[in-house]
Amino acid sequence: MSVERPLLEARGVTRILPAIVPVTLVHDIDLVVEKGEFVSVTGPSGSGKSSLLYLLGLLDVPTSGEIFIDGIATSGLGADALAAIRLAKIGFVFQFHFLLPEFTVIENVMLPMRRLGALTMDDIRTRAGALLKDLDMSDQAEKRPDQLSGGQRQRVAIARALANDPVLILADEPTGNLDSRNSKIVQEIFAQLAREQGRTVIAVTHEESFARSTQRNVYLVDGHIARDERR
């Protein structure tokens, strides 16, 4: 019987910020997320939601513990190897869109693909166009980010996160800066990505409605998992 590893697996992950008085961000986290799951992470501020997300996204390195992504053990890997995993397997969406202001919408979406370099320029442009179309942003493709509304920018940021066809989408308060209408749209997009495309989505949020709309909710308190509920 072949055992398929889960898409994301955290084993005893602890992150302590070294300081005169060391700060424990997350403590002894065990978390298993299967392919296609849509998980929300909630908790009071300072509970370590974002810290956990950055650790799972390999932006930060745990002080102890192991993280497996798509079957790859990431502990002990160098910064360049972690960057390569981020590039190919992980898409980030943050509260702020972080689009590069010098580039047009479509160029922003093309950046990760160009860095990966797996496709030709023509294919990259076609795929970026298709991603924007899926998010109903085709007509904004040639605009600059500062000509877009907040909701539009966040959709571009999602398209960019999807650029290299990642297996894992990590979102840090993706609706935190949006009005309720745009917030609903973004939530729906994430739900679709998980449901229809089988991607794994983990979203940190403090919005009750967002958390309720996900299949699974992980509730953090003081850096460890207090509740892990599936619906």
Partner 1 sequence: MFWRVGFEIAMAQLLNRRRQTLVSVLGVALGVGFFIATASIMRGSEEDFVDRLVNNQPHITIKDEFRNPAAQPLFLVYPEGAVSLAHTKPREYLRGIKNYAAKVEELSARPGVVAEAALTGQIIVRYANKDLSASVAGIEPEKEMQLTKVETDMKEGSLLRLRTTADGIVIGQGMATELGLHLDDLATVITPAGLVKPMKVVGIFYMGNLLLDEGQVYVLLKNAQVLLDKPFIANQIRIRLPDPNAAETVAAQLESRWSYRADSWQEVNRDILGLFVIRNAITYSIVGAIMVVASFGIFNIISTVVMEKRRDIAILMSMGFRSVDIERIFLIQGALVGVLGMVIGWAIALGLLQLLASIRFSIPGMTDRQGFVLDYGVAQFLVGGFFSLVSAIAAAWYPARKAATVRPVEIIRGAA
19 binds partner 1 (CB under 8 A): no
Residues composing the chain: 231
Shortest distance (Å) from residue 190 CB to partner 1 = 18
Placement of tokens 């002990």 in the chain = 76
Helix, strand, or coil here: 175? coil
Q: Among 77, 84, 167, 185, which residue interacts with partner 1 (rule: CB under 8 A)?
A: 84
Stretch that binds partner 1, among 50-58, 69-77, 146-154, 211-219 (CB under 8 A): 50-58
In this complex, which beta carbon is closest to partner 1, that of residue 62 or of residue 229?
62
How many CA atoms, within 13 angstroms, populate the side-chain half-sphere of residue 172?
Answer: 19
Helix, strand, or coil here: 221? strand
Indicate the angle between helix axes 79-89 and 105-116, nearest 10 degrees. Answer: 120
Residue 195 CB partners (closer than 8 Å, separation 6+) = 36, 38
23 binds partner 1 (CB under 8 A): no
The C-alpha angle with vertex 133 and arms to 131 and 136, in degrees rounded to 5, equals 120
Stretch that binds partner 1, among 63-71, 84-92, 138-146, 186-194 (CB under 8 A): 84-92
Q: Between residue 137 and residue 176, which ones bind partner 1 under the rule CB under 8 A?
A: 160, 164, 172-173, 176
The residues binding partner 1 (CB under 8 A) are 50, 54, 57, 59-60, 79-80, 83-88, 90, 92, 94-96, 98, 100-103, 111-112, 114-117, 160, 164, 172-173, 176
